[in-house]
Structure 1
Amino acid sequence: MSSRPIHVYEDGKLTEQTDMIAEESPLTILVNGDEFATLLCTPTYLEELSLGFLASEGLIRTANEVESMSVIKEKGYVYVQLYNRHRLDQVSVSKRYIGSCCGKSRQFYFQNDVQTAKTVMTKTTIKASQCIKLMQELQQTSTDFQQTGGLHNVALGTPDGLLLIRSDIGRHNGLDKVYGHCLKHKLSLKNKIIVFSGRLSSEVLLKVSKIGAGIVLTKSAPTTLAIELAEDLGITTAGFIRNNRFNVYTHPQRIVE
């Protein structure tokens, strides 16, 4: 976040005030000396973001596959060296690919999604009251959003509470930061829950599947493709979690009274 002078119009008058603004900057990730991707992100937890992004794109499965990583925040660069010098040649991130999802009717649009999206088989359950409590906890602890109004919040948790919260201008970046933190610290993702502040799009749903979480809770709405993918990938989705109600869109057996 950064503060900027602004002019506020209210009750017929313009006054000068100071406002907190969400930061946005480009981050270029170079892998084995080659430019791999440029992300637009909030420049925090950049090592976690890079690890999570590389894992979700299929370049790595664990942090142990990274020989070295150097983050130059001021210049917006991350230099990554993988032990597998040929891994970048084996992964295509730009070629569009139409294939079946889990042998069913849905379709992925990128080859790396076919390779990395997981069908989730978790038997974890959560009480409806715990869903509401987790969303309330996310909102109460999201101080960066409260100050700027321009960030998405993503949390990793269990039915009993949140374990980790990350913020970013991009919903997908927030998920990658959570994923990268778990990879970096070798935290188990088994039986974990994703709690989310923004719209549940197909892109977000695919990242949740790559993380391996079987339940995703959001304050906002899902899209049709996200629901279809969640149905096929075995992910429970609940949206519009506000006050004391919410909607369950897929695999409702994991949410109990």
Structure 2
Amino acid sequence: MSTASPGAGEGLPLHTRRRILHYDGGDFSVREDEVATEYALTVFVNDQEMATVVCTPEYMEDLVIGFLASEGVIRHMGQVQDLVISRFRGTARVRTSTDVNFNQAFYNKRYIASCCGKGRQMFYYYNDAHTAKRVDDPVRIQPSQVVTLMRELEASASLWHVTGGVHAAGLCTPERLELSRVDIGRHNALDKLYGHVFRSGRDVAGHVVAFSGRLSSEVLLKVAKMGAGIVIAKSAPTALALDIAETLNITTIGFARGQGFHVYTHPWRVGGHPGT
């Protein structure tokens, strides 16, 4: 497989400086602030337009591959013959060596913005029911490790510290953060993570996903597609996300802030509580 660029950065700015009017305690002052870049990337598969993703313009190869894998369009990297990203045109063109599962009856063209995206039912689209499987990984984690992993994820997200305008996702063992990705779209951050795993053939067994946002049903489904048995998030889950987590055997940990957190589903993976 060939790609147009080597990895991070893509030659595009991740943030820009803007002159702002700041108000504090009754007084206005003029300051400069750093704001995150939004970049529109249109994905084509075998010359057929699939979607436009609004993203942070780094690790775009990971983003495209993770998105296609998450959508069930590709099942292994052997299918990807070529991936060419044009940062000037804002396009990602993927060519596969075999026919792919890309039926317009199931993959309607849609615009995937940097916010939450469209609401769905238990499985949003046809492909979710075929790509989100039950996770039987027996991975375990201790409370102190939950706290440490969230601290490491926050420390790794340098673009968040500069702009405050991105989400972060991390692939971890219970002992440490191994890989992190950031993006203005929370689902994009997870797709970048998944894309790296998918491209490298990495085994997710024994790993944990740490996430800076809330646990929506879409986020939970992406974790399931990666095959992680535990997801840790800084914010709250939704009821639908928890229903999916119960069904797919995923341990969900939310409100992981400071020294505390909530365990919502499958607490048997979290050591030290009265039930273990």
Is 1:126 aligned to 2:141, yes or no? yes
Contact 2:72–2:101 (CA<8 Å) still a contact in 1? no
Task: Write the letter of the residue equivalent to 1:228.
Answer: D
Map 1:48-197 to 2 at 5 A: 48-85=62-99, 87-89=101-103, 92-94=106-108, 107-197=122-212
Distance 2:55 2:131 in 1: 23
Distance 2:256 2:100 in 1: 45
Contact 1:59–1:91 (CA<8 Å) still a contact in 2? no
Contact 2:139–2:205 (CA<8 Å) still a contact in 1? no
Q: Which residue of 2 aligns with 1:4?
A: 18
Match of 2:152, SS? helix
Distance 2:260 2:142 in 1: 13
Deviation at 1:87, TM superposition (A): 3.6
Q: 1:47 aligns with which of 58, 61, 84?
A: 61
Contact 1:239–1:248 (CA<8 Å) still a contact in 2? yes
Distance 1:249 1:120 in 2: 16
Distance 1:219 1:13 in 2: 33
Match of 1:3, SS? strand
Match of 2:137, SS? coil
User: Cα deviation per residue 1:41-66 (whole Å; 9 max; x = unaligned)?
Assistant: 11111100000000000011222210
Is 1:26 aligned to 2:40, yes or no? yes
Deviation at 1:11, TM superposition (A): 4.1
Match of 1:187, SS? coil
Task: Write the letter of the residue equivalent to 1:31.
Answer: V
Distance 2:72 2:208 in 1: 22
Distance 2:223 2:105 in 1: 20
Task: Write the letter of the residue equivalent to 1:64.
Answer: G
Identity of aligned residues (%): 46
Q: Which residue of 2 aligns with 1:243?
A: 258
Q: 1:254 aligns with which of 269, 272, 275?
A: 269
Deviation at 1:109, TM superposition (A): 3.0
Q: Which residue of 1 aligns with 2:115?
A: none
Distance 1:116 1:85 in 2: 17
Gaps of 5+ in 1: 96-105
Which structure has greater strand proportion?
A: 1
Gaps of 5+ in 2: 1-14, 110-120
Distance 2:192 2:262 in 1: 27
Deviation at 1:86, TM superposition (A): 5.2
Task: Write the letter of the residue equivalent to 2:214.
Answer: R
Match of 2:247, SS? helix
User: Aligned residue pairs: how many?
Assistant: 247
Q: 1:219 aligns with which of 227, 234, 252?
A: 234
Task: Write the letter of the residue equivalent to 2:226.
Answer: I
